[in-house]
Amino acid sequence: MTEQIIDLRSAWAIVRRRAGVLVLAGAVGAAAGGAAVYVRPPAFSSTSLVLLPPPPQGSSGVGAHSIDTQVQIASSEAVLGPAGRALRPRLTAPEVGVRVDVEPKTSDVLQMTATGATAQEAQALAEAVATAEVDYLKAAASTLGEEARKALADRATTLDRNLAAVSTELEKTKTRLQSESPLSTEGRADLAARAQLVAQQADLALQIDDIAKKVADASNLSSPTASVSVIQHASPAQRMSLPLRIALFTALGATAAILLTGFVLVLRGRREATLRSRDQVADAIGLPVVASIESGTPRSVSGWTELLRDYTPDNVGMWTLRQLVRLVTPGHPGSLAEDPAPKGAAPAVVVVTLSDDLRALAVGPQLASFAASTGLATTLVTAQSHESANALWAACSGLAPEAHPRPGLSVDTGHGLHPIEDLVVHVAVVDRQRPELRVRAADGAVTLLAVTAGAATADDLARVALATDDARHPIARIIIVDPDPLDRTTGRLLPSERAQQAPLPSLMTGSPVAGGATALEARRRLR
- How far apart CA 79 and CA 214 sit, in angstroms, is 24
pLDDT of residue 11: 75
pLDDT < 70 positions in the chain: 1-7, 9-10, 55-65, 141-147, 217-226, 269-271, 339-344, 401, 414-420, 441-443, 495, 498-527
CATH topology (fold) of 278-499: Rossmann fold (3.40.50)
The rounded Cα 130 to chain-centroid distance in angstroms is: 40
- How far apart CA 470 and CA 338 sit, in angstroms, is 20
Q: What is the pTM of this model?
A: 0.57
Q: Which of 124, 133, 71, 78 has its CA nearest to residue 99?
A: 124
- How far apart CA 102 and CA 108 sit, in angstroms, is 13
Contact 424, 418 (CB under 8 A): yes
Which positions ≥6 away from 6 have C-beta within 8 Å? 14, 266, 269, 270
pLDDT of residue 504: 54
Contact 429, 353 (CB under 8 A): yes
Please classify residue 454 by burial: count the beta carbons closer than 10 Å to its beta carbon, then call 0-12 exposed, 13-18 middle and 19+ buried.
Answer: middle
- How far apart CA 448 and CA 474 sit, in angstroms, is 9
Report the DSSP pairing between strands 475-481 and 409-412: unpaired
pLDDT of residue 416: 54
Report the DSSP pairing between strands 378-384 and 446-452: unpaired
